[in-house]
Amino acid sequence: MAGDDDTITILRLYVAGQTRRSVMALANLKAVCEQHLGSHYRIEVIDLLEHPQLAAGDQIVAVPTLVRRLPPPIKQLIGNLANTERLLVGLDLRPGTM
């Protein structure tokens, strides 16, 4: 489970500039991580306007996109991450279906 004490969750948030959707996605992600992961997470924000070549590595087709790199398996969520339940399920912090 991603929230275990010895597990660090590594997340990449792909954005395209400081748009309203990008800012909202980062704020929503930080709030959920603080509440459910404490200090056991790291968020890397990748702006595809500055580094477009990085989109290919994680097969990014839309922004904002969240990629959970660790723990495996790699997972992706697209959108502003406003749906907390979907985000929790996507991060394996709550059982359920997406």
Note the pTM of the prediction, 2 decimals: 0.86
Q: Where are the domains of the chain?
A: 9-90
Predicted pLDDT of residue 98: 41
Asked if 3 and 40 count as a contact pair (C-beta separation under 8 A), the reply is yes
- CATH assignment of 9-90, given 3.40.50.300, 1.10.10.10, 3.40.30.10, 3.20.20.140? 3.40.30.10
Predicted pLDDT of residue 3: 46
Predicted pLDDT of residue 37: 92
- HEC sequence for 38-77: CCCEEEEEEECCCCHHHHCCCCCCCCCEEEEEECCCCEEE
Predicted pLDDT of residue 96: 54
Predicted pLDDT of residue 91: 85
Asked if 60 and 46 count as a contact pair (C-beta separation under 8 A), the reply is no
- Cα–Cα distance, 2 to 54 (Å, whole number): 25
Q: List, run by run, the mean pLDDT of 10-residue segments along the chain (98 residues).
A: 68 94 93 93 96 90 93 91 91 66
Asked if 81 and 12 count as a contact pair (C-beta separation under 8 A), the reply is no
